[in-house]
Structure 1
Amino acid sequence: MQTVRSAVLIDVPQAAVIWLVLLAVVGVTVAALVVVRPGRRRLDVASRIREAAMPGRLEEAEEERERRRYAQEVAVAAERAGTTAQRRRTEWLAAQEAVEAAWQAYQEAEEDVRRLTAAAAMPLPRTARTPAEYADRERFLHRTAMEAYRRQELSVEQLGDAFAYRNGWDPRRHPVEQELFLRRAVRDNLLARHEAAREQEQAAWRAAELAVAAAGSLRAEAFAATEPAPATESSLLPGSDTAEFPVTVRESTPPARGAAAVPVY
């Protein structure tokens, strides 16, 4: 009995030491888990947020199809806008030629007025003021006014005034005076036609300029649609305050006036 008790008493310190070692190992393990677990939990949360924010494969494929469809539509619109810009430029060049032609016609009419003014300043030949003479002067007025109208030098309103003897038209005047009055009327009509042609040219230039700007904008939009901006993962991580978005700045410089003001598309 004494032997058994002594054996048990001898083993008790060894068992206590073993239990203390086991308790220390468990304590260290628990402490390590407590220290490491929050960091791993934060990483798991960040990865879950990133996976939830990033689109799936089906969504990415759908977005890619939509992007290609939009790029094709914008490319077609840009091509049509380029055709429109070319047509507007052709119209503007034609309007420029019309302005130059109207100005040349006005210059010639002004030269005729100067020549006839110098001729009218000289003494006019005297003619018998008989009914036959006045009838000849009236026929001369009608004939010269009709010829000028057929040459598109007089407007319809001016021709009506000539036949109705309004606004200065007088069949009793000498043929030289009638010719001078007719040339002045032609000059005034051609000047008004030149002003109208110049206004049309300016309107055609503005339309061509806008068409070129629209075509350029659509071309830039079509080019940008083929290169989407990649999504950055740093903007999706927790702790980032703001997400960066690409901003495209387009600069448009108005073309200078002249024969090459509107570029060819």
Structure 2
Amino acid sequence: MQTVLSAVLPDVPRAAAIWLSLLGVVAVTVAALLVRPGRLRLDPGARIRRAAMPSQLEQAQEEREQSRYAQEVAVAAERATTTAQRRRAEWVAAHEEVEAAWQAHEAAEAAVRRLSAAAAMPLPHTARTPAEYVDRERYLHRAALDAYWRRELSVEQLSDVFAHRDGWDPRLHPVEQELVLQRAIRDNLAARHAAAGKREQAAWRAAELAVAAARSLRKEAHAATGRRVAESASVLPLSEVVASVEQTRENQVVARGRAAVPAF
């Protein structure tokens, strides 16, 4: 018996020290919980918020992508606006060209009516000699050249005048030659007015398309800038939204049994 006690008693102080150490650890833990009870509390909402919130690297990458996209769209919108302004200027020039061609055609039409009335009257009698025919031909060529330099006749019409074809007769009386010349000028200006009208319509359609494209790009640039600002501002309120949802749930539990108040 004494042998057993002599073998056990030396280990008692060591065991007591171990138990005292364990009791000290437990006491410190209990004290920490009592002082700060929320330190070790499990918070599912916090875990959800941390899991839902993007990391700083992902957030920075997304912000760079959004910023680059917004800048690209803004540059495209600015270029489209410049193009729309240029297209509109082209349309204004084409419209002015149509107006000028119409006024020139109206003036030529009035000259044709005036010369038609003059040609209906008896023409002055002139001797039909070779010299007279040479003078008439010279007058026709000079009048046609003057009209060509005024851009009232086309080069094809001028070629017909000098070739004496397509109704150009140098033997006619100068009054009759002037009437033929004015009719040719009227027809040429009418064709020029029609061509200017087609160019004006094409310029109008191009301007409309350019304006629509610029408007769409400006709208997209504004939306992209707004999205970038909204996304950068919505990172922090995400936790607030979750907390608001949790608070709403608590309020619903408290207010259960009462009529819900409509939100305005």
The two structures share one fold, judged by TM-score above 0.5: yes
> How many correspondences in the alignment?
191
Deviates more, 1:86-95 or 1:53-62: 53-62
Offset, 1:50: 8.3
RMSD across aligned positions (CA): 2.3
Offset, 1:51: 6.5
What amino acid is aligned across from residue 213 of structure 2 in structure 1?
A
Offset, 1:133: 1.0
Match of 1:95?
94
Once residues 162 and 120 of structure 1 are traced to their aligned partners in structure 2, the CA distance between those partners, rounded to angstroms, is: 20
Deviates more, 1:154-163 or 1:47-56: 47-56
Q: Is 1:218–2:217 an aligned residue pair?
A: yes
Once residues 53 and 191 of structure 1 are traced to their aligned partners in structure 2, the CA distance between those partners, rounded to angstroms, is: 73
Offset, 1:176: 0.7
Offset, 1:124: 1.2
Once residues 167 and 52 of structure 1 are traced to their aligned partners in structure 2, the CA distance between those partners, rounded to angstroms, is: 89
Offset, 1:73: 1.1
What SS does the aligned partner of 1:226 have?
Answer: helix
Deviates more, 1:89-98 or 1:102-111: 89-98
What amino acid is aligned across from residue 105 of structure 2 in structure 1?
Y
Once residues 174 and 122 of structure 2 are traced to their aligned partners in structure 1, the CA distance between those partners, rounded to angstroms, is: 13
Once residues 204 and 94 of structure 1 are traced to their aligned partners in structure 2, the CA distance between those partners, rounded to angstroms, is: 9
Match of 1:201?
200
Runs of 4+ in 1 over 6 A off after TM superposition: 46-53
Once residues 167 and 54 of structure 1 are traced to their aligned partners in structure 2, the CA distance between those partners, rounded to angstroms, is: 86
Once residues 112 and 63 of structure 2 are traced to their aligned partners in structure 1, the CA distance between those partners, rounded to angstroms, is: 73
Higher helix share: 2
Q: Is 1:56–2:55 an aligned residue pair?
A: yes
Offset, 1:91: 1.2
What amino acid is aligned across from residue 96 of structure 1 in structure 2?
H
Match of 1:130?
129
What amino acid is aligned across from residue 117 of structure 1 in structure 2?
S
What SS does the aligned partner of 2:127 have?
Answer: coil
Offset, 1:125: 1.7
What amino acid is aligned across from residue 213 of structure 1 in structure 2?
A
What SS does the aligned partner of 1:153 have?
Answer: coil
Q: Is 1:153–2:144 an aligned residue pair?
A: no
Deviates more, 1:190-199 or 1:46-55: 46-55
Offset, 1:86: 1.1
**Deviation digits for residues 188-211 of structure 1 (CA, Å, limit 9, x no counterpart):** 000111111111111111111111
For structure 2, which runs of at least 5 residues remain unmatched after alignment? Answer: 1-42, 239-264
Match of 1:170?
169
What amino acid is aligned across from residue 173 of structure 1 in structure 2?
L
**Deviation digits for residues 31-88 of structure 1 (CA, Å, limit 9, x no counterpart):** xxxxxxxxxxxx98x9989876764221121011110011011111111111111111
What amino acid is aligned across from residue 179 of structure 1 in structure 2?
E
Once residues 129 and 47 of structure 2 are traced to their aligned partners in structure 1, the CA distance between those partners, rounded to angstroms, is: 114
Match of 2:118?
119
What SS does the aligned partner of 1:86 have?
Answer: helix
**Deviation digits for residues 132-191 of structure 1 (CA, Å, limit 9, x no counterpart):** 111111101101000110111000000000000111101111111100000000000001
Once residues 176 and 52 of structure 1 are traced to their aligned partners in structure 2, the CA distance between those partners, rounded to angstroms, is: 98
Once residues 49 and 194 of structure 2 are traced to their aligned partners in structure 1, the CA distance between those partners, rounded to angstroms, is: 68
For structure 1, which runs of at least 5 residues remain unmatched after alignment? Answer: 1-42, 234-265
What amino acid is aligned across from residue 133 of structure 1 in structure 2?
E
Deviates more, 1:94-103 or 1:109-118: 94-103
What amino acid is aligned across from residue 141 of structure 2 in structure 1?
H
